[in-house]
Amino acid sequence: MRCVVLQHEAHEGLGLFEPALSAEGFSFVKRFRGVEHKDLEAELLVVLGGSMSVTDTSAHPFLDDEVALLIERLALGRPTLGICLGAQLLATAAGSTVTRGKNGFEVGVGPVRWTAQALADDVLKGLKPKSTVAHWHEDTWAPVEGATLLASTDRYTQQAFRLGDSFAFQFHLELTGDALGAWLEGARDELAAAGKNVDELKASLGKLRAAEVENRAVIERLAHHFARVARR
């Protein structure tokens, strides 16, 4: 089974999703800021995060190509996993509007609340009401028509959704505490310019490390779901 991974930044990868999907029998085709038409036929498409916004199409014309691919995959019922920017692109493909969030930059370790629909979802059921995850985003989207809202935070309601067999997560389930720590260090100057104290953010990494077993379990359920869909 082929999993095409659309990558937008050199330091961003599949993280915890890679071993989980590999264990389910997926092999990976990784593309950097570009797509090919044959990606339409892939058993799974994963669209990762990035520093750009969905609307930055003049500077990053590949975003239009990605949205076009996602529109086609949704029409054909082929599954996609969107993470952060990838979730925003999937929302756009589904007809929603992505905008700069009014409640500011959400970054670091924090909780998400799973909705009642998520707790009853055939893939996610069994979750605790809250999970501790990594956040790194400024944009958000309007409710996606026909989608099931899966998670929210105090700052932003739209944190995750399911649309058919596709899932979108604004937050970074794939990140370990060590990985998020490396991201924070790598963006120390950028974060300082945005008024964020990296040392304070890093002080919460232990909470993410403690949540890793639970987050791996969620990821393994998602990987099993995508494999089951691929084998239908």
Residue type for position 77:
G
Please determine, for residue 5, whether its predicted confidence score (pLDDT) is greater than 90.
Answer: yes
Summarize the confidence of residues 176-190 as an average pLDDT: 97
Mean pLDDT of all residues belonging to the chain: 97
Phi, psi of 146 (to 5 degrees): 85, -5
Q: Give percent helix, percent strand, percent coil of the chain, each to the nearest 5.
A: 40, 25, 40
What's the pLDDT tens digit per position in 6-30? 999 999 999 999 999 999 999 999 9
Q: What is the CATH number of the domain that holds 103?
A: 3.40.50.880
Percent of the chain with pLDDT over 90: 99
Summarize the confidence of residues 22-40 as an average pLDDT: 97
The 3-state DSSP class for residue 35 equals coil
Summarize the confidence of residues 59-80 as an average pLDDT: 98
pLDDT at 126: 87
Please determine, for residue 187, whether its predicted confidence score (pLDDT) is greater than 90.
Answer: yes
pLDDT at 20: 98
* Residue 44 near residue 17, CB atoms below 8 Å: no
What's the pLDDT tens digit per position in 136-182? 999 999 999 999 999 999 999 999 999 999 999 999 999 999 999 99
CA gap 230, 139 in Å, rounded:
31
Please determine, for residue 134, whether its predicted confidence score (pLDDT) is greater than 90.
Answer: yes
Number of structural domains (the chain) is 1
CA gap 132, 229 in Å, rounded:
28
Percent of the chain with pLDDT over 70: 100
User: Range of 50's domain?
Assistant: 2-230
Q: How confident is the model at residue 201 (pLDDT cuts 50, 70, 90)?
A: very high
